[in-house]
Chains A and B, each alone.
Chain A
Amino acid sequence: MSSRRSRISEEEIAELLSKLQSLLPEARRRGTSRASSAKLLKETCNYIKSLHREVDDLSDRLSEMMATMDMDSAQAEIIRSLFRP
């Protein structure tokens, strides 16, 4: 990453990369040591793509369920589980 860097130090970039790394799920962190920022960025891209796919998939499934279920009665249960500690 070099083309569009503002006046930020290498250290700050490294810190941001490390923060990013901590957001990846455990399995994707393997092999993404500080030395390989390219690998970390690649894993980040893959992770975001998989999250986009999950949103698509969950939307499909929610849509199917909507046809058959009564959301009014499910409403209380949904809200309960959302705000469970």
Chain B
Amino acid sequence: MESKSSTTGNRDNPNRNLHGSKTMMASHFLRALFRIQQTSTSSSSAGRSRRIRRAAYASMAYSAGTRRAWSRALLRKLRSRARLRFPRRLSRAATPQRRDMDQAQVLRKLVPGGPSMDDCKLLEETADYIRFLTTQVRLMQTVMDSVSS
């Protein structure tokens, strides 16, 4: 897994927090995958897929820990066993006063914990959420590539 090289120099290296998290993410996700394979011999592919998806978001959230609002919100959802749903097609908002506000509201629905964030926090949390999401996606791709070779 390559990390995106930082272009911000030594000031607030975005990958500083990510490196240790990647290892946690990988070990958490792999353990979940093996567990899922052991315990779902008779279940449907769709059921397994849902468990894998849940494991993906769980390993993201656990590796980010409680230091981020998005991961705390995700952990809460996971622990309450609520269905993990992210809006795909967002309903047309009422005519916005400004287009900027509309997009920020859309973003709030996509980032866990978004609704309670002010604009500034939303941007910070979004950046962190994207970093973890892309890392998780790459992790899943790596697993796919490893087993299909």
Chain A positions within 8 Å of B, measured between CB atoms, are 1-6, 8, 12-13, 16-17, 19-20, 22-23, 37-38, 41-42, 44-45, 47-49, 51-56, 58-67, 69, 71, 74-75, 77-82
Contacts and interface: CB of A to CB of B under 8 A. Distances in A.
A47 B140 contact: no
A62 B144 contact: yes
A48 B49 contact: no
Given A51-B137, A55-B137, A82-B142, A13 B123 contact: yes
B80 interface: no
Nearest to A43: B103
Contact of B119 (A13, A44, A66): A13
Interface of A (DSSP majority class): helix
B26 A82 contact: yes
A63 to B, nearest CB: 4
A49 B38 CA distance: 31
B100 A1 contact: yes
Interface of B: 1, 4, 7-8, 14, 26, 30, 33-34, 36-37, 40, 45-46, 48-50, 52-53, 56-57, 86, 88, 98-104, 106-107, 110-111, 117-121, 123-124, 126-127, 129-131, 133-134, 136-137, 139-149
Contacts of A61: 144
A1 B104 contact: yes
B149 A77 contact: yes
Q: Main SS of chain B's interface residues? A: helix
B126 A20 contact: yes
B140 A55 contact: yes
A42 B102 CA distance: 9
A82 B1 contact: yes
B146 A74 contact: yes
Most A CB within 10 A of own CB, among B36, B49, B145 = B49
9 contacts: A19-B14, A20-B127, A41-B106, A45-B107, A65-B147, A65-B148, A66-B36, A77-B149, A78-B30
